[in-house]
């Protein structure tokens, strides 16, 4: 039997979520896809609740790790906003849509989803506020951005591609059109 890492479990879990939704995510499926026994799973996580907590923490920290690697916050609001739009394009959207669906059925997942959304609102809000200056308008534009992301992910989950790159380009134009002079 091959030895697998927690990272491999998390990557596989996100792939399963993207392909089959949260109902498809089981210990058996993970072990089968990774070619390991359930003993490996229990060795790493102790059980399903430990795995869910670890997976959600991994997913929630993904954005933080990417932003830190890109030195977010050190190049000014224009560069920060551009970095956030690039990060948004690279999110695992199908998996995130499944996590949102899962959050409707599981309080632990719902709490993690809220933490991620709150962190995104704070981070994007800071960048937008840096560009436009007006706090109230920045809050509105930040909410619009989150609604656009969630809507895109929900449409994707239903089999409709809403062309996120085009949506983000329009969103970027809108935000930049309101820039403080």
141-167 pLDDT, tens digit per residue, is: 999 999 999 999 999 888 888 899 999
The two structure tokens encoding residue 72:
């977010």
Query: Is residue 155 within 8 Å of residue 80, measured between CB atoms?
Result: no
**Burial class of residue 93 in the structure, from the number of CB atoms within 10 Å of its CB (0-12 exposed, 13-18 middle, 19+ buried):** buried
Domain ranges of the chain: 6-177
pLDDT at 75 > cutoff 90: no
The mean pLDDT value for 134-140 works out to: 95
**Integer angstrom CA distances of residue 97 from 5, 41, 67, 101, 104:** 25, 25, 22, 6, 11
The pTM score is 0.88
Q: Which CATH code of 1.10.760.10, 3.40.50.620, 1.10.357.10, 3.40.50.300 fits the domain covering 6-177?
A: 1.10.357.10
């Amino acid at each position: 039997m091959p030895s697998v890492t927690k990272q491999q479990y998390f990557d596989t879990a996100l792939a399963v979520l993207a392909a089959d939704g949260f109902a498809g995510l089981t210990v058996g499926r993970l072990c089968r896809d990774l070619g390991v026994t359930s003993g490996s799973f229990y060795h790493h996580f102790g059980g399903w609740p430990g795995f869910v907590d670890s997976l959600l923490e991994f997913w929630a920290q993904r954005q933080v790790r990417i932003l830190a690697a890109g030195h977010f916050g050190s190049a000014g609001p224009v560069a920060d906003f551009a970095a956030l739009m690039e990060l948004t394009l690279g999110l695992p959207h199908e998996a995130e849509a499944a996590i949102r669906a899962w959050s409707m059925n599981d309080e632990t997942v719902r709490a993690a989803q809220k933490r991620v959304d709150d962190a995104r609102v704070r981070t994007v809000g800071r960048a937008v506020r840096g560009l436009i200056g007006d706090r109230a308008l920045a809050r509105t534009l930040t909410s619009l951005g989150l609604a656009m992301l969630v809507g895109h992910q929900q449409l994707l989950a239903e089999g409709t591609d809403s062309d996120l790159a085009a949506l983000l380009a329009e969103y970027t134009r809108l935000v930049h059109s309101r820039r403080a002079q």
